[in-house]
Amino acid sequence: MSETDPSQYVRQREKGARDVSYPELPEPLAVPVYDNHCHLEIQDGDDALSLDEQLDRAVAVGIAGVVQAGGDIDSSRWSAWAAASHPRVLAAVAIHPNEAPLYAAAGRLGEAVEAIDELAAQPRVRAIGETGLDFFRTGADGIPAQHESFEAHIALAKKHGIAMQIHDRDAHDAVLETLARVGAPERTVFHCFSGGADMARIARERGYYLSFAGNVTFKNAQNLRDALAVTPLERILVETDAPFLTPVPYRGRPNAPYLVPVTVRFMAAELGLDVDELSAQLAANTLAAYGSFG
Ligand SMILES: [Zn+2]
Ligand SMILES: [Zn+2]
């Protein structure tokens, strides 16, 4: 990617043996919501959607905007570009916990964090993310670099006065400990929340947002539904993490912001709430966490 034209950046998701056709558009939501976390630079399926096509489909079903998250320097630059050029996009920028050890091994972690610092000053970059800890994909060797990067990112969110999107995989205790020790940014979001009710109660005490992805619909994810049940309504967010984590009944197929209504309807049923009522709350929560799109 050239530094002067981040719009040209694109990644391709492995197809494997999956059904890579895009699911049909769901029935539109009457009250618009936002997709709080997605990766629209990653193309999926045989008929990959452009950013404009993604946003058009989203709007058609009542998804008013998206927060596009970065994970390395290039994808963070793309995220900032997308947000600067599309009124329905806000950006999150960061070095992902699985990327931090790679930058560190190359002696470039400091430089990478500086690049994120620079992007975070842009007006439509409204979160540092995704940052955090991932003990699932990164082994013991990479953990010191993950901690160093996470703490540097926490400092950036505070410095710029913007939200933080946390990626926490198999690292609940260490993430919570770090936040308690160094102090969490004012608006801290657990993207694709993966804990259970106990962790959700700690998050509730500390005022963190929990963002639920399509996996809340998975049969084996009772822990997520238990967590949802104990989270205050004003701290619940919804996201896709597209192109990953496609909700049931489309699991494995390409995910996209236009599928958010599937997850919102599922969450409303779980919570025993009217879909419109939950949608209004989710939209208000997004704006409280990241500020206005307009
Ligand atoms: Zn993540
Ligand atoms: Zn993500």
35-48 pLDDT, tens digit each: 999 999 999 988 89
Name the closest ligand to CA 243.
2
Ligand in closest contact with the CA of 132: 1
Contact between 76 and 70 (Cβ < 8 Å): yes
Ligand nearest to the CA of 166: 1
Omega before 249 within 30 of 0, i.e. cis: yes
CA of 278 to the centre of ligand 2 (A): 23
53 preceded by cis ω (within 30°)? no
Q: Which amino acid is at 236?
A: I
User: Which ligand places an atom closest to the C-alpha of 134?
Assistant: 1
Please give the distance, rounded to the nearest whole angstrom, from the Cα atom of residue 178 to the centre of ligand 2. 20
Three-state helix/strand/coil letters over 22-91: CCCCCCCCCCCEEEEEECCCEECCCCCCCHHHHHHHHHHCCEEEEEEECCCHHHHHHHHHHHHHCCCEEE
| Tokens describing residue 289 | 């966490």
Residue 249: CB atoms within 10 A of its CB come to 9
How far apart are the CA of 191 and the centre of ligand 1, in A?
6
pLDDT tens by residue, 104-162: 999 999 999 999 999 999 999 999 999 999 999 988 999 999 999 999 999 999 999 99
**Second CATH level (architecture) for the domain 35-290:** Alpha-Beta Barrel (3.20)
Q: How far is the CA of 165 from the centre of ligand 1 (A)?
A: 9
Ligand number with the minimum distance to the CA of 169:
1
pLDDT digit string, tens, across residues 196-254: 999 999 999 999 999 999 999 999 999 999 999 999 999 999 999 999 999 999 999 99
Question: How far does the centroid of ligand 1 lie from the alpha carbon of residue 33, in Å?
Answer: 21
The structural domains of the chain, with segments of one domain joined by +, span 35-290
Residue-wise pLDDT tens digits, 177-193: 999 999 999 999 999 99
Which of the ligands is closest to the CA of residue 192?
A: 1
CA distance 47 to 20: 9
Instruction: Check pLDDT > 70 for residue 3.
Output: no
* pLDDT reported for residue 45: 86
* Calpha distance 208→256 (Å, rounded): 25
Query: Which residue carries 């008929």 as its tokens?
Result: 47
From 110, 67, 75, select the one nearest 94 (Cα to Cα): 75
* Best CA proximity match to 29, nearest among 236, 207, 292, 275: 275
Q: How many whole angstroms from 37 Cα to the centroid of ligand 1?
A: 9
Closest ligand to Cα 244: 2
Gap from CA of 245 to ligand 2 centroid (Å): 10
C-alpha–C-alpha distance, residues 124 and 271, integer Å: 32
